[in-house]
Structure 1
Amino acid sequence: MQRRNIFAASAAAGAAALATPALSQGRIEWRMVTIWPRNLPGPGVAAQRCADRIGQLSGGRLTVRLFAAGEVVPAPGAFDAVAAGTADLYHGVPSFWISKSPGIGFFGSFPFGLTAYERQGWMMHGGGQPLYDQMYARFGIKPFIVGDSGPQWMGFFRREIRSADDFRGLRFRTAGLGGEMFRRAGASVVTLPAGEIFSALQSGTIDAAEFVGPFSDLPLGLHQVAKNYYYPGVQEPSSAEEIGINMARWNALPDDLKTVVRIAALSLHEETTTEYDTRHPIALQELVSRHGVTVREVPRELLQVFASTAADMMAEYRSHSDAQVKQIADSYATYRERSQAYMMQSYGAIFNARGAAIRRG
């Protein structure tokens, strides 16, 4: 897919399209705003899939009309538009809203934190969902996780990074608590929506950029101007996608339609997360074989800086003056500590054994 096709979003719909939800013979229409270009592989497609799924499962009683980033609301304004009731729901990521509270960031990812499947386990069985609901209720929003892009890549860099000194001072597009880690490690962090990253990297306004991973990074075209692609993306071992629904709109739904939204969110998490895991390796091969991208590992010295910084951040949040942030950080860290040894003995050991078996042929 060419960049010009991805970003050819229609701006014909005006702000009037985000008026009070349409009601016709018992049917409800919600207006969804997103932080993504329309049909961007990965999150843009997932947003449309979410809108369609709710309509399908409700038998058309609750339909969702999607407006991509910039069509009626700029990407950074999606959360506030829903909180204010000028839009009914948004599709985005928690990392975009951490200026509201650092506690929000944990539901998307934390540096050196939970994988997608661990984070979903924390949400569903480890007390995460009630904390998620409580935090977003501050802003009049009912949230649901609807997917996860899996482990992020550290991103595309115009120049090779050989040491921690090479990293310091870089103008780096990133976001969320991972972005806060990079800032504390010495980068000059710039948060940009997806549609603005390429031009900033091309013009030299930024030196490096991370977005998601190969599946979504490839169509952005970042590889055209930065050939060094770094892993691991320890800033986001997972990256949850979410919908946030205006609380008044949510409360007005009958119980059966609330169930529809919950089931849609669960089914979308499974479908979207496994799609990323399937598409990432295919896109990575294309980046390397067709576009001359060089895959590089983050220098160990720099990883150690990141690890120390992330540990300081966790300690800070676990003693935060906001009791709700502290509770979220404590719950997240406790789940991570309990999960770590078992995951290394189960999934980690299986990956190591499988790799050895594959190498033997």
Structure 2
Amino acid sequence: MDRRKFLTGAGALALTGCSRTPELEHRRRVNWRMATSWPAGMPILQDGAELFARKVADLTNGQFNIEVFAADELMSGFAVFEAASRGDIDCFHSSSYYWAEKVPGCQWFSSVPFGLNTQGCLSWLFSGNGMKLWADLYRKHNLIPYPMGTTGSQMGGWFKDRVETLEDIANLRIRIPGLAGRVYSRLGATVFSLPLSKIYTAMKDGTINAADWVGPHLDKRMGLDNLAPYYYYPGWHEPSGILELGINAASFAQLPPDLQAVVKAAAQWVTQYMIAELSAKNAEALYEIRSGGTVEVISFPREIIEVFHRTSEQVLEAEAGKDVMARTINEDYKRFLARWVDWGMVESVGYFDMMR
């Protein structure tokens, strides 16, 4: 092995975290600002952004520092995309489907109803054409996207009343964003795209009678289990929940190659952290919710799921028709999904059927 090539790869990242080299000592310090879409103190999501900043600092012996601002500290959580695009901040942490009105194609890089789960979506991004398409999509916005974290497969949401018929869906006033919101809207529901800070209050005062957030751990921390007696699954609308690190292109270009590699390595570390943390804590929270005796954890009826599926296909085609890039991304995503889903069924469904 060429020792010099080895040291310019992953080995170099490890070494920078262990020793202070003369090169790092004399390099100009880099200071970035990051804004997120998450409230201050938000477990796992805001924690993930702050962990990313700490990891970057650790890997560079404090030469590269990122100041992290939660939603509403520097700007609203929904303003971060435009701010990074203009160069007001160097990067942001959010979910790509929040920008759907401006960039229709972005939705495929977060979660697609009845689409790839977390493992499948990461496979499409890194081993398929996903990352190239995402970079192409954001280029005209002066942004470089990179996956950083995931909420995993979500739950179907909290409902004050049972959902058994199409009439029940039409009577909903539901907080749910993105493509899923468009599905519910087509089925007659009144859809709200509320930020996290307003979900609990809107559910409590009756403005909404149903809400999607993430999954057992974060939902329980918000107190949604005290407001609605029915907790539905599966999360057909968000099976992957990939989160994004959006980086101003000029800020990234000014970094030397090794610091660019640090940014990507730290983002991947955060993704691994979120997968492990949410999986462990969702298992514990779901057990507590079931054991509490006041909430019924229940599956959507098969007939309703089939309606969701048909309507989702219509919504996806309509969204893909909004511009050329959205159509290109949708077609590539569908091709990958068609091949991957058979393996996913064998790997996951087959295994869990065996465990029953």
Same fold (TM over 0.5): yes
Q: Structure 1 residues 57, 25: CA separation in 2 closer, same or farther (over 3 Å shift)?
A: closer
Is this contact kept in 2: 1:154–1:231, CA < 8 A?
A: yes
Higher alpha-carbon deviation: 36-45 or 68-77: 36-45
1:321 deviates by 5.2
Range with bigger deviation, 328-337 or 131-140: 131-140
Q: In structure 2, what is the Cα distance between the partners aligned to 1:188 and 1:140?
A: 35
Aligned to 2:349: 348
| Cα distance in 1 between the residues matched to 2:232 and 2:44 | 20
CA contact (8 A) 2:32 2:65 kept: yes
Q: State the distance in 2 between where 1:29 and 1:118 align.
A: 35
User: Which residues of structure 2 form unaligned runs of 5+?
Assistant: 1-25
Give, in angstroms, the shift of residue 187 of structure 1: 1.8
| 8 Å Cα contact 2:118-2:241 kept in structure 1 | yes
Deviating more after overlay: 293-302 vs 194-203: 293-302
Aligned length: 331
Q: Which residue of 2 aligns with 1:75?
A: 77
**C-alpha distance 317-330 of structure 1, shift in aligned 2 (>3 A):** farther
Is the CA contact (8 Å cut-off) linking 1:317 and 1:329 kept in structure 2? Answer: no
- Cα shift at 1:138: 2.1
| Secondary structure in 1 matching 2:158 | strand
1:272 is aligned, of 271, 274, 278, to 274
**Alignment-derived partner of residue 288 in structure 1:** 290
Deviations 1:79-126 (A, max 9, x none): 111112222211111121111122100000100000000000000011
Q: Secondary structure of the residue that 2:68 maps to in structure 1?
A: strand
Tell me the SS of whatever aligns to 1:76. Answer: coil
Are the equivalent residues in 2 in contact too, given 1:173–1:210 (CA < 8 A)?
yes
How far apart, CA to CA, are the structure 2 residues paired with 1:260 and 1:126? 23
* From 58, 62, 65, the counterpart of 1:63: 65
Task: Answer yes or no: is the 8 Å Cα contact 1:41–1:215 preserved in 2.
Answer: no
Structure 1 segments of 4+ aligned residues over 6 angstroms from their partners: none
Moved more, 38-47 or 206-215: 38-47
What is the match of residue 181 of structure 1?
183
Measure, in 1, the Cα distance between the counterparts of 2:209 and 2:113.
Answer: 21
Check the 8 A contact 1:214/1:284 in 2, yes or no.
Answer: yes
> Which one of 235, 238, 245 corresponds to residue 237 of structure 2?
235
Report 1:1-361 matches (<5 A): 26-290=28-292, 292-317=294-319, 320=321, 322-355=323-356
* Aligned residues with identical type, % of pairs: 33
Q: CA deviation at 1:167?
A: 0.9
TM-score, reference length from structure 1:
0.88
Relative distance call for 1:227 and 1:311 in structure 2 (3 A) is same
Contact 1:173 1:189 in 2 (8 A): yes
Indicate the RMSD between aligned Cα atoms, in angstroms.
Answer: 1.6
1:300 Cα deviation from its structure 2 partner: 1.8
Residues 169 and 184, structure 2, Cα contact 8 Å, conserved in 1: no
Q: Spell out, residue by residue over 1:39-97, the C-alpha distance to the aligned partner (whole angstroms, 9 max, x if none).
A: 21221221211221222122212111111111121111111111122222111111211
Distance, in Å, in 1 between the alignment partners of 2:217 and 2:142 is 33
CA–CA distance in 2 between the matches of 1:240 and 1:250? 21
- C-alpha distance in structure 1 between counterparts of 2:96 and 2:31, whole Å: 25
CA deviation map 1:321-357 (0-9, x unaligned): 52211110011111100011122122221121122xx
Question: 1:301 is aligned with what amino acid?
Answer: E
**Aligned residue type for 2:84:** V
CA distance in 2, matches of 1:317, 1:195: 28
Contact 1:317 / 1:325 at 8 angstroms: preserved in 2? yes
2:101, 2:159 → 1: CA distance? 26
Contact (CA 8 Å) 1:146, 1:265: kept in 2 or not?
yes
Superposition deviation, residue 291 in structure 1 = 6.9
8 Å Cα contact 1:35/1:91 also seen in 2: yes
AA aligned to 1:295 is V
What code does the residue aligned with 1:112 have?
F
Q: 1:36 touches 1:193 (CA, 8 Å); kept in 2?
A: no
Separation in 1 of the partners of 2:199 and 2:160?
13
- Note closer, same or farther for the CA distance 1:183–1:42 as it changes in structure 2 (3 Å cut): farther
